[in-house]
Amino acid sequence: MPATLITMPQLGETVTEGTITRWLKRVGDPIAKYEAFAEVATDKVNAEIPSPTAGVLLAIHIAEGATVATGTPIAHIGDPGSDISLTPSASTLAPASPNASNTVAVIEPVAEPAPTNLRHYSPAVRRAVRASGIDPSTVRGTGTGGRVTLRDIATATTHVERIPLTRARRMIAAHMVEAKQTIPHAWTMIEVDVSGLVAKRAHDAASFVANMGFKPTYFQYFAHTVVQTLARHPMMNARFTPDAIEVFRRVDLAFAIALDGNLIVPVIANSQHMDFATFAHAMHDMTSRARSHHLAVDELHGGTITVNNTGANGSILSSPIINGGQAAIVTMEAIVKRPVVVHDAIAIRSMLNICCSIDHRVIDGDVVGGFLRDLKHHLEQLHA
């Protein structure tokens, strides 16, 4: 019986290649079904790859650090003695994408483990070390086997830190530029009195911790209310295509998380059916798994509208860029106590600004106005 051929998975819609950052198993190690056997980095995510089958890691075809096109064979898992030849088959070896030719698609033997501490510095590094007085052993090497390159020394000694673009950062940049250049953004903002929400959260906290194990966040309330409000404003949950406006029947809510200098956007699928507790749990769970790099690949797919907690650091106004394939992004700004006029008297209230960027090809001012009006209404209805 042939062994199971493992190919580089496509970790995200626009992903064409992945880098093996670490082999978690060595050839000969037993592997349970769903047990992670490798770590892969793509422009979107660092992910552990779970095994599709139980067996033994029979062969590794791609060395650590190598980047290969999606669909490239990376390993064989199966019973000892199984066939691990790389005979091409239509299903496993078809080119992953037309532009995969830029990547190394060659099957190479596993490289010798690189020396962890390369004591021999190049002449150029030695000169730079003498000139700068830096201890090269304190510099993180980015060359082969962790070799300290001249550029590493330069980076460590310069007044301007030069951060090489990671694949993820490059993709973020590309997506941002594309969204900003192709989508005619319109922007609007509304002011909401969330004094009731503040009281409600304080009131709910204890029982939430007891039942769910965490304190609810304002953002969870906010995001859930956005989902609720979308029920009467489906045009906000849509996308523009050259032929038609496509309105999504479900709300897959994307929410942005800043992580290690990267921006990742997990998606709570089918959120329109969730009560607040379920929704809050999903968001809490995804956020913590994102921080420990344990998000599953399909949790980063899709998204029909995005919310963003731009107020987390005190911002009271922002102008967000819409995610490609969506028509709107809604931000929650900081909740601040402000004197406001209530019933012709000055009162101290907890105020929240909500900003919203829309694709004006899909959404008109009237539509977003109605949506924000109802969102404001729903938020102001919340109370302890």
x/- mask, other proteins, residues 56-95, rule CB under 8 A, reads ----------------------------------------
d(CA 171, CA 177): 10
d(CA 108, CA 66): 10
Comparing CB distances to other proteins, the nearer of 105 and 263 is 105
Identify the CA nearest to 165 among candidates 174, 177, 176.
Answer: 174
The 10 Å CB-count burial string (b at 16+, else e) for 134-168 is: eebeebebeeeeebbbbebbebbeeeeeeeeeebb
| SS3 state at 15 | coil
CB of 152 to other proteins, least distance (A): 10
Given 204, 360, 374, 378, which residue is catalytic? Answer: 360
Q: Is 169 in the site for other proteins (CB under 8 A)?
A: no
CB of 9 to other proteins, least distance (A): 21
Q: Is 328 in the site for other proteins (CB under 8 A)?
A: no
The burial of 125, by beta-carbon neighbours within 10 Å (0-12 exposed, 13-18 middle, 19 or more buried), is given as buried
Among 102, 137, 241, 288, binds other proteins (CB under 8 A): 102
Quick count: other Cβ atoms within 10 Å of Cβ 60? 20
Helix 365-381 with 218-230: angle, nearest 10 deg: 130
Rg (CA), the chain: 25
Q: Is there a catalytic annotation at residue 364?
A: yes
d(CA 65, CA 40): 9
Look up residue 30 and give its two tokens: 């037993």
* 66 CA to centre of own chain: 22
CB of 142 to other proteins, least distance (A): 9
Identify the CA nearest to 227 among candidates 286, 304, 285.
Answer: 304
Among 149, 228, 306, 350, binds other proteins (CB under 8 A): 149
Look up residue 290 and give its two tokens: 């994102």
Among 150, 189, 257, 340, binds other proteins (CB under 8 A): 150
Q: Which stretch binds other proteins (CB under 8 A): 23-31, 109-117, 142-150, 308-316?
A: 142-150
Given 29, 260, 298, 364, which residue is catalytic? Answer: 364
Q: Which stretch binds other proteins (CB under 8 A): 149-157, 199-207, 299-307, 316-324?
A: 149-157
CB of 150 to other proteins, least distance (A): 4
CB of 170 to other proteins, least distance (A): 8
Q: Is 123 in the site for other proteins (CB under 8 A)?
A: yes
Longest alpha-carbon distance in the chain: 84
Number of residues that bind other proteins (CB under 8 A): 14
Q: Is 158 in the site for other proteins (CB under 8 A)?
A: no
CB of 164 to other proteins, least distance (A): 9
Instruction: Tell me if 222 sits within 8 A of 310, measured CB to CB.
Output: no
Q: Is there a catalytic annotation at residue 275?
A: no
| SS3 state at 100 | helix
CB of 122 to other proteins, least distance (A): 5
Q: Is 126 in the site for other proteins (CB under 8 A)?
A: yes
Q: Which stretch binds other proteins (CB under 8 A): 83-91, 121-129, 248-256, 320-328?
A: 121-129
Among 50, 143, 325, 370, binds other proteins (CB under 8 A): 143
Comparing CB distances to other proteins, the nearer of 150 and 176 is 150
Helix (DSSP H) and strand (DSSP E) numbers for the chain: 8, 18
List residues near other proteins by CB under 8 A. 102, 122-127, 143-144, 147, 149-151, 165
Q: Would you please indicate which residues are annotated as catalytic (active-site) residues?
A: 360, 364
